[in-house]
């Protein structure tokens, strides 16, 4: 196979370089570990500046506030791995959060389990609708979910215009749950970690999960190989929607007061987290665990900036520079890892 990409150069085997590149390949493979390391470094640096950053309360807060973003990042990562994107999650979260609030307003005796089911159900329904349009009519998911972002948010704004769901509406058990901990770890964080592990295991151990990577790497080849691409892509949109719906209920539990603006603008934050977490935007590689760590990293940075007493005017500039650094770093690793592969096996590398 010859190099066909415009930017690719045919690389001839170079054995001596192999060792150096093998390190890069290893790092690339353990991307989540690298992010975890970066999180620890930032955490450490901030702690040096302000010892209080490392206290239990502070860590608990980071984990529980990050939980909603992490949850959305799981679904978004799965969607992006199939070479699609879901920009509707912020609006879906808002719809779910508001609808669950309305549910409690109209029937204060609704059980929490029902609330969770309703939230997840609403999200899954949104995801299913998007999935159908994307897969059956074959409309680019970026366009479908961008349209859905407007339609769903518009709908929430219509039904929720001027309505504030008050904290007293939500059952006490739900709102205390927002920050309650078990052996010092926030419940919300544990739930999200459980979801992330389940998703990661599914994508690692089950053929259906692994097929997502195949679809993202080469959709046509995946289809030829007999993978039910339509069903798989539809499924990940339902999952992404359902997780956004669950995120809505967790949002309620955390802030305890909600109006129709909940979740506005979350879509780009979450895509950022997923990409920082090492998921390739054009699909086929990355992991849910990386995406979740990416979300934690963004949260740690935002909180660290305040904790380190840096002017909050710097937040956005630093977050943006970090994202650029992350994807550049990725690229560097990918190139080196590929070279290592070439050096080892003596094949030319096609990007």
Partner 1 sequence: MSSESRGRVRARGLVRWESALVVILIAVVLFGVAESSTFWSTTTIFFGGLDIGQVAIMALPMTMIILTGEIDLSVASMLGLGCAVFGYAFEHHTGVVGAMLIALAVGAIGGALNGFLVARVGLPSIAVTIGTLTMFRGIAEILLGQSEVSGFPPSLEQIGIAPIFLHLAYPFFFFLVLAAIYGVVVHRTAFGRSLYAIGLNTEAAFFAGIRVRRTKFLLYVVSGVICAATGIIYSLQAASAIYTAGTGLELNVVAVVLFGGISIFGGRGSVIGVVLSVIIVGLTEVAFTTINISSQEQQVIFGGLLLLSVVVPNVGEVRNRIRGRVRRAAPPVSAGGGL
Partner 2 sequence: MRFSTRNYARAAVGLAAGLSLAVGGTALASTHHSIKKGLLVYAIPKDTVNPYEVIADNGIKKALGQLGGKVVVSSGTQDTAAAQQPGIQAAIQAHANAIIIAADDPSALCPQLAQAQAAGIKVISFDSDVTCKNHLFINQANTKQIGASEVDLLGKEIGYKGQIAILSAVSTATNQNAWIKYMKLELKKKKYRGMKLVKIVYGNDDPTTSLTVLQGLLSAYPHLRGIISPTTVGISTAAQYLDTHKSLLKHLTLTGLGLPSQMRKYVLDGTVKEFELWNPANLGYLAGYAAANLASGTPLKAGATFSAGKLGKYKILPPAGGVGLSVVLGPPTVFNKANIRKFNF
Contacting positions for partner 2 (CB under 8 A): 50, 52-53, 55, 57-58, 61-62, 65, 68-69, 153-154, 157, 160-164, 166-168, 175-176, 178-180, 251, 254-257, 259-262, 264-265, 299, 302-309, 312-313
Residues 234-253 touching partner 1, rule: CB under 8 A, are: 234
Q: Which does 179 bind (CB under 5 to 8 A by kind): partner 2, partner 1, none?
A: partner 2
Instruction: Name residues whose C-beta falls within 8 Å of residue 335's C-beta, 6 or more positions apart in sequence.
Output: none
Chosen residue from 15, 51, 106, 161 binding partner 1 by CB under 8 A? 161
Burial class, 182, CB count within 10 angstroms (exposed 0-12 / middle 13-18 / buried 19+): exposed
Q: Where are the beta strands (DSSP E) in the chain?
A: 181-182, 185-186
Q: Which does 197 bind (CB under 5 to 8 A by kind): partner 2, partner 1, none?
A: none
Find out whether 266 and 244 touch, Cβ atoms under 8 Å: no
CB-wise, 125 or 323, nearer to partner 1?
323
Residues 10-69 touching partner 1, rule: CB under 8 A, are: none
Find out whether 296 and 305 touch, Cβ atoms under 8 Å: no
Burial class, 345, CB count within 10 angstroms (exposed 0-12 / middle 13-18 / buried 19+): exposed
Q: Which does 271 bind (CB under 5 to 8 A by kind): partner 1, partner 2, none?
A: partner 1
Residues 283, 93: Cα–Cα separation, whole Å? 24
Residues 280, 19: Cα–Cα separation, whole Å? 25
Total Cβ atoms within 10 A of residue 73: 34
Q: Which does 144 bind (CB under 5 to 8 A by kind): partner 1, partner 2, none?
A: partner 1
Minimal CA–CA distance to 246: which of 31, 44, 57, 74? 74
Looking at the chain, the number of H-run helices and the number of E-run strands are 14, 2
Q: Which does 240 bind (CB under 5 to 8 A by kind): partner 2, partner 1, none?
A: none
- Inter-CA distances, 227 with 131, 223, 342, Å: 17, 5, 29
Residues 302-331 touching partner 1, rule: CB under 8 A, are: 313-321, 323-324, 327-328, 331
Chosen residue from 150, 201, 204, 206 binding partner 1 by CB under 8 A? 150
146 binds partner 1 (CB under 8 A): yes
Residues 81-120 touching partner 1, rule: CB under 8 A, are: 82-85, 87
Residues 31, 33: Cα–Cα separation, whole Å? 5
Minimum CB–partner distance for residue 36 and partner 1 (Å): 21
- Positions touching partner 1 (CB under 8 A) are 4-7, 82-85, 87, 133-144, 146-155, 157-158, 161, 215, 219-220, 222-224, 229-230, 232-234, 265, 268, 271-272, 275, 280-282, 313-321, 323-324, 327-328, 331
């Amino acid at each position: 196979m010859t190099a066909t990409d415009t930017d690719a150069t045919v690389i001839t085997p170079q054995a001596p370089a192999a060792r150096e590149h093998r390190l890069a390949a290893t790092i690339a493979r353990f991307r989540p570990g690298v992010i975890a390391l970066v999180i620890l470094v930032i955490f450490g640096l901030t702690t040096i500046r302000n010892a209080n950053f490392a206290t239990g309360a502070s860590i608990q807060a980071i984990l529980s506030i990050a939980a909603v973003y992490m949850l959305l990042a799981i679904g978004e990562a799965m969607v992006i791995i199939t070479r699609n994107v879901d920009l509707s999650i912020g609006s879906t979260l808002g719809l779910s959060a508001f609808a669950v609030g309305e549910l409690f307003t109209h029937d204060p005796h609704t059980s929490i389990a029902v609330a969770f089911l309703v939230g997840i159900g609403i999200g899954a329904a949104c995801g299913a609708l998007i999935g159908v349009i994307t897969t059956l009519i074959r409309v680019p998911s970026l366009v479908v979910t961008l349209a859905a972002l407007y339609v769903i948010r518009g709908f929430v704004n219509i039904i929720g215009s001027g309505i504030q769901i008050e904290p007293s509406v939500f059952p006490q058990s739900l709102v205390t749950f927002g920050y309650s901990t078990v052996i010092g770890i926030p419940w919300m964080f544990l739930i999200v970690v459980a979801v992330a592990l389940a998703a990661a295991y599914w994508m690692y151990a089950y053929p259906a999960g692994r097929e997502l990577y195949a679809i993202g790497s080469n959709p046509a080849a995946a289809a030829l190989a007999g993978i039910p691409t339509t069903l798989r892509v539809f499924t990940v949109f339902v999952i992404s929607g359902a997780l956004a719906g669950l995120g809505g209920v967790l949002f309620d539990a955390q802030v305890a007061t909600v109006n129709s603006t909940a979740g506005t603008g979350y879509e780009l934050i979450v895509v950022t987290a997923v990409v920082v977490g090492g998921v390739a935007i054009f699909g086929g590689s990355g992991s849910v665990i990386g995406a979740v760590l990416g979300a934690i990293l963004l949260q740690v940075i935002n909180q660290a900036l305040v904790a380190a007493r840096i002017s909050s005017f710097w937040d956005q500039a630093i977050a943006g520079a970090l994202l650029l650094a992350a994807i550049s770093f990725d690229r560097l690793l990918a190139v080196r890892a590929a070279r290592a592969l070439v050096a080892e096996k003596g094949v030319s590398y096609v990007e």
